[in-house]
Structure 1
Amino acid sequence: MRLTAIFIEDEDYEEGGYTINLGGNYFYTIKLGSGFCDVNATENKLFINDFFDKSGTLKNISAIVGGNGSGKTTLIYKIINLLNDNFTTGLTIWEDNEGSYFNKYRWTLPVRPNGVSLSNIIKELGTIYFSPYLDHKSLARGIDISADRYLAEDLNNIDSTFDANSRVVISERLKRGDYKRFINFQKSKFSEGVKTAYGLLDEDLYRVVFTRHKIDATKDGIDFEETPEDFRDYLNKLFLEIRKEYDELNKHVASDEERYELNKSQYKNFILMDVFCLLIKLMERKNMYLQEGHFRNKEEAKIVIQNGLDSYSKLKYWLNNYYYSKGVENPLPNDEVIKIVDFLFGYIDSLRFSKEGNYLNWSSKSLFFDEEDLEELLDLNEKLLIALPKYFIEIEKGSQNIYDSISDLQYFANPEYANRSLSSGETAMLHLYSRLYDFFSRHILNVQTIRKEDYYILFLDEADLAYHPSWKKSYIKTIIDFSVSFFSELDANVQIVFTTHDPLSLSDIPNSNVTYLHKESETRILSFNSVNRPTASFAANVNDLLGHSFFLEDLLIGDFARQKIDEVIEWINKNKDVGLDYNRGEIINIKKIIAQIEEPVLRNKLTEMISEIEVDEVFINDMINKQTKYLQDILKRSK
């Protein structure tokens, strides 16, 4: 089943609203009047089922195009509001191999079909909105992975965390947030098709810093509120001991080698405090287990916290010897914490000082990893972050069990590229795919914190904005390949609606799947029988698309150049029937203008027109030579 058409009620329109056709067996025209909703259907004889994906995962792709200010983003927001039942009245038309159906949103009028049989259904779906623009839009209903939303999420805990044991620097936090998502996506199985199309980055060295979550504590101890009461004395003493171990490190060094060994011990202490604070912050989040957390042997725990073991051994003792009398017996991420700390401690211990460069930089509180070691760290880090929401009891919502989202806590290891920065095109491309992967990984694939739908509409709002033309040719094909793989893993169907200014992207879409907006048109959305509606898109010539589909007839060249060309055409039309009675100086200048035009089709046409007035062999031979050089350049580029 696929979403084929949408009608949104709007009193400002003569028909009582407007219809958006996304492509299907029929073109739909919907009109309100006389107490009815008339749905008129005209067969689309060129429609091909499963045109974009024979597996059936990707149901359809549609485009919304129009000039600046025509309302593309506004239309997407209205569609999203309707599909999320957000105070918008309308209906949707669905099709499958068996027939056509309508789904009502806040709808009361009886539906009267003409040309097609319609049955009423209730179709649940999810919407996903992506935009690369940072333009302070309001939150889109459903799933919003736009630049605005991710910026807000990346900064939502800057007052309650430190990065690299220092105050959060906003620009660095945003960069690390992007790079962490980029790297995680590139390491995933879903990146293969994108790598093939765009040649994603392979880096030899990565820099990692760690996030510390602030807890309510002073030099005298922790002010607990929600942590289980039986743990408090033990954890307070452990907190003070971690601090003490750092203070007691011998900071008197005689060489660079000794300083490096000191920095290794300091860094291990920082990591231990980082993970300790994460666990305290998790327990302090809300009142769940005040009386339910216990040590298996309370008397033994009192002895352990007082003896001469190091603080990490005491942390492990707690994690290996507690239980909860409510819910899951061991809801804390015991194994995940121990495994990642063991890995990091072992990695730091293995580092050796080198005058040429080191994998621990104390001044920036950074560790450096090659690709193989980074993959192991990222795997351990992901398992730790996935385990955090499971501390709280899952809630049954319908047929699905869902945990509370704690995305502000899911920060620990933060990787970035050590030796390079990304181009705007690379960043734009990775934003799209990495955010899709990141959101669904954190909220559905790894641990479920939101409802999973069986059908998604993915709205891409000018996602190809910063792509190089060679990448734009692959834009739709790569989205198709990724979507089929990714949403198959989700066990869901997907449909894509995108806006674009680019003819290369539009050339992959059948014309019946394109909604054209024209701000000068009365209805704004051009109907299929409108004389202003372009008739070509799929596999069409890019110049034709630029000239028609994007309403840029007057903007293919600069306004001044267009003015000069208009003057040439006007002069030729004015003088073509006057015989030899024309101004010689003027025709010389006209030829000079024609000779400077680089667009070959236009230049050749004007040469033909001026030759109807005067056949100038020298001028014509010059134009032949120019055209020959143009073709020779094409031949050279093809070799």
Structure 2
Amino acid sequence: MIRLAAIYISKGELPHIFGKNHEGQTINLGGKFQYVFEETEHKVFVKSRQINAQFIDGFWQNNICLLSAIVGENGVGKSTILDLFRTSLSACTFVYEDLETNNFSIFFNADLSDVLYYSPHFNIHQVGNENENFRDLSKYSLMIDDTELESFDLSTLLQLHDSENLKRWIKFIESNNAIDLLKDISLPIFDKIHIKINFFRIDEHQISYRFRPFFNRFIEMIDAENTRRQQQELNRLKLTKIEDIRNSRATHKIRLELEVLKRIIVKVQNILESTGNKYLEEGFLNDNYTIESPEFLAHKNTRDAFYWFLDNAYVQLTKRSKKVFLPVDEIKNLIETIILHLPESKEIENWTEFSVGFSEALSILKSYEEFILAFKNDFAFDRKVLLKFKPYVNLSSGEKGLYDLFSVFNDFKFRIENDIHTDYTIFNKRQNVSSNFLILLDEGDLGFHPEWKKKYINVIQQVFTQIFPDKNIQIIITTHDPLTLSDFPRNNITFLKKEGDRAYLHDNLTIKSFGANVSDLFKDSFFIKDGLIGDFAKKKIEEVIVKMNSYLLLKQANKVLEISDVEIDSMKRLIDIIDEPIIQQKLIEMYNTLFDRNYSIDDEISRVEARLKELRNLKNIRND
């Protein structure tokens, strides 16, 4: 097991961050040792290392070996520095520590670990920079993966992406101990799911010649069966008036059931089409059955006819080769599972959509995943979205962000376990997965409620150790939040400060972090200038200070003060609303000196309360 302890950026390699012809920059991440590099004309080497006095063995939870942060002013280059850990520029030198021996080794890339990158931003410029050990789980890459084969408008693509996100959320909620974790951070747990079934237009004609007539006939059969069964149900209920029929929704479940069947049949056809034309002549049915065969015509029910086809259809490349059958069980199971969980007609408003409970949604999701995965070995791994999932609860952006963060890593685990991680997004990844994970979270706490930010570091440790219990995990984050930063020892933080148009690594010896006061963290760690109040409040307070100072100078010069009652009242009202006690008290003193009054907030409250009492007494007298 290893730990990435330091990275050295060679001279002049990041001029847009550190300035033209900058010196080499060393970033120590808080490992057991602090490293000092030296760079000659032809070589970079570790000049010395010393014990990190703040390092504590087993400090982080379970199998997390190190947690580090990169912080600083806006626009200082935090995300660019984080990118160095995933793009493995030739200009960088990486130092790894062996967790057992404490020996270190130098490498010129980060290939020793699988690098998992997450960002809630749409970082379009980052796509295409991956190497084989890098997995981009960020918002933009996931959206590409969810929608890249669809040619819809942006709104529809976003809906598809949100639906795929929900599927990931459901899988995460199902995982071990997730419910307890979600309750601990007060994250809403939804228990009702809305499902929409998509329809695919078949634009290609690459399915086997012998299969095509069957798929065409299935659609014809569904339309005929729909008409027949609906009329039978209306007759049974003795409904003849159009208004009564509409109000009853009596046939909605029949139509929805047949739409489910129809769209799954078309999905299977689309998978066969997507497989390409290599099976044009190689598709067969037992005993050379056709759509005119009595055995097929005996099935008046479309579902039975389709199941009969599945049982008899196969692909065979040559007469001697092995027969390849369609995933019959998985196709049937998906159909039966969805139909089993369809609500009653009175609960159905649209025959392409329906709502189910959480456990039913999970059952449908599992059968759908089994259906998709069953095709991947012999046919196409088709990613067109058949089922769209939506929660029956309105989540805030922060709540969605938390679910996204947790679920994308849980989904990556699912992909590893099912051997489809090499087809994650449009990039090919190496087959083998390392036992070491370097997780990069670029402002992963963006949009979180302050209460969640307090729990952020503690929670992500629980989540990642739960999802990847057999991995050696190292995490590097960027953040703008002092509540998050208060969980890091000082030597685990890289402080970037800006001076003019360049950045530099700030000496962290005097900066407070672990368990520090939030105001100190804002001031020291994020280099906030001109105090810690908002600019608007600061401007208003400065305006009243300047105004009262100018009047005080006139008063000291024995000049007449031309101040209206409205302006005096405005000054007093502004002083009243200031919640910082020291600033407020100083302004009260200035106010009293200027107007020769003994004004204080307590006096004002007493006067208001006395007047209120007087008015109540007057009201009582009038009522009597």
Query: TM-score, normalised on structure 1?
Result: 0.75
User: Which of these residues, 411, 416, 425, is aligned with residue 390 of structure 2?
Assistant: 416
Checking the alignment, whether the CA contact within 8 Å between 2:67 and 2:474 is kept in structure 1 is yes
SS in 2 for 1:473: helix
Query: CA separation of 1:539/1:428 partners in 2, compared to 1, >3 Å: closer, same or farther?
Result: same
Q: Counterpart of 2:487? A: 508
The Cα shift of 1:249 comes to 5.5
Q: Counterpart of 2:368? A: 381
Aligned length: 559
Taking the aligned partners of 1:262 and 1:81, their CA distance within structure 2 comes to 57
Code of the residue aligned with 2:83 in structure 1: it is Y
Checking the alignment, whether the CA contact within 8 Å between 1:8 and 1:88 is kept in structure 2 is no
Higher relative contact order (CA 8 A, sep 6+): 2
Q: Counterpart of 1:453? A: 434
Taking the aligned partners of 1:282 and 1:572, their CA distance within structure 2 comes to 77
| Superimposed CA distance per residue, residues 331-389 of structure 1 (whole angstroms, 9 cap, x where no aligned partner) | 633211111212333444xx545xxxx33222x62112123433322332232233232
Code of the residue aligned with 2:487 in structure 1: it is D
User: Which of these residues, 272, 276, 299, is aligned with residue 283 of structure 1?
Assistant: 272
| Superimposed CA distance per residue, residues 490-541 of structure 1 (whole angstroms, 9 cap, x where no aligned partner) | x322211111111000000111111111121787241546xxx652111111
Is residue 2:288 matched to residue 1:298?
Answer: yes
Query: CA separation of 1:244/1:525 partners in 2, compared to 1, >3 Å: closer, same or farther?
Result: farther
Name whichever structure is richer in helix by fraction: 2
How many percent identity over aligned positions? 26
Taking the aligned partners of 1:600 and 1:473, their CA distance within structure 2 comes to 26
Taking the aligned partners of 1:474 and 1:541, their CA distance within structure 2 comes to 16
Which segment is superposed worse, 237-246 or 431-440?
237-246
Q: Counterpart of 2:31? A: 24
Checking the alignment, whether the CA contact within 8 Å between 2:208 and 2:282 is kept in structure 1 is yes
Taking the aligned partners of 2:219 and 2:490, their CA distance within structure 1 comes to 65
Q: Counterpart of 2:107? A: 104
Taking the aligned partners of 1:598 and 1:160, their CA distance within structure 2 comes to 52
Q: Counterpart of 1:132? A: 120
User: Which of these residues, 387, 409, 429, is aligned with residue 436 of structure 1?
Assistant: 409
Q: Counterpart of 1:76? A: 82
Taking the aligned partners of 1:237 and 1:558, their CA distance within structure 2 comes to 69
The Cα shift of 1:432 comes to 1.0
Q: Counterpart of 2:69? A: 63
Query: CA separation of 1:505/1:437 partners in 2, compared to 1, >3 Å: closer, same or farther?
Result: same
Taking the aligned partners of 2:145 and 2:152, their CA distance within structure 1 comes to 13
Code of the residue aligned with 2:467 in structure 1: it is F
The Cα shift of 1:135 comes to 5.3
Q: Counterpart of 2:310? A: 319
Checking the alignment, whether the CA contact within 8 Å between 2:8 and 2:92 is kept in structure 1 is yes
Alignment of 1:48-197 (within 5 A): 48-53=56-61, 55=62, 57-82=63-88, 88-95=90-97, 96-105=99-108, 124-134=112-122, 136-139=124-127, 141=130, 142-159=134-151, 169-189=156-176, 191-197=178-184
Taking the aligned partners of 2:375 and 2:229, their CA distance within structure 1 comes to 32
Query: CA separation of 1:241/1:572 partners in 2, compared to 1, >3 Å: closer, same or farther?
Result: closer
Is residue 2:20 matched to residue 1:41?
Answer: no
Checking the alignment, whether the CA contact within 8 Å between 1:515 and 1:525 is kept in structure 2 is no
Taking the aligned partners of 1:134 and 1:41, their CA distance within structure 2 comes to 39
Query: CA separation of 1:322/1:365 partners in 2, compared to 1, >3 Å: closer, same or farther?
Result: closer
Checking the alignment, whether the CA contact within 8 Å between 1:4 and 1:94 is kept in structure 2 is yes
Q: Counterpart of 1:634? A: none
Is residue 2:333 matched to residue 1:339?
Answer: yes
Taking the aligned partners of 1:487 and 1:583, their CA distance within structure 2 comes to 77
Code of the residue aligned with 2:68 in structure 1: it is S
The Cα shift of 1:50 comes to 2.5
SS in 1 for 2:497: coil
The Cα shift of 1:174 comes to 3.9
Taking the aligned partners of 2:548 and 2:489, their CA distance within structure 1 comes to 39
Checking the alignment, whether the CA contact within 8 Å between 1:81 and 1:88 is kept in structure 2 is no
Code of the residue aligned with 2:121 in structure 1: it is Y
Taking the aligned partners of 1:342 and 1:367, their CA distance within structure 2 comes to 16
Taking the aligned partners of 2:103 and 2:92, their CA distance within structure 1 comes to 17
Taking the aligned partners of 1:602 and 1:434, their CA distance within structure 2 comes to 46
Is residue 2:542 matched to residue 1:550?
Answer: no
SS in 2 for 1:535: coil
Gaps of 5+ in 2: 423-430, 550-555, 562-567, 607-624
Code of the residue aligned with 2:489 in structure 1: it is P
The Cα shift of 1:466 comes to 1.0
SS in 2 for 1:99: coil
Q: Counterpart of 1:630? A: none
Taking the aligned partners of 1:510 and 1:331, their CA distance within structure 2 comes to 59
| Superimposed CA distance per residue, residues 261-302 of structure 1 (whole angstroms, 9 cap, x where no aligned partner) | 433222222111211122122222234545554434434984
Checking the alignment, whether the CA contact within 8 Å between 1:3 and 1:94 is kept in structure 2 is yes
Alignment of 1:267-278 (within 5 A): 267-278=256-267
Taking the aligned partners of 1:6 and 1:314, their CA distance within structure 2 comes to 64
SS in 1 for 2:199: strand
Code of the residue aligned with 1:413 in structure 2: it is L
Larger Rg: 2
The Cα shift of 1:548 comes to 1.0
Query: CA separation of 1:603/1:26 partners in 2, compared to 1, >3 Å: closer, same or farther?
Result: farther
Checking the alignment, whether the CA contact within 8 Å between 2:330 and 2:371 is kept in structure 1 is yes
Checking the alignment, whether the CA contact within 8 Å between 2:497 and 2:506 is kept in structure 1 is no
Code of the residue aligned with 1:538 in structure 2: it is F
Query: TM-score, normalised on structure 2?
Result: 0.77
SS in 1 for 2:487: coil
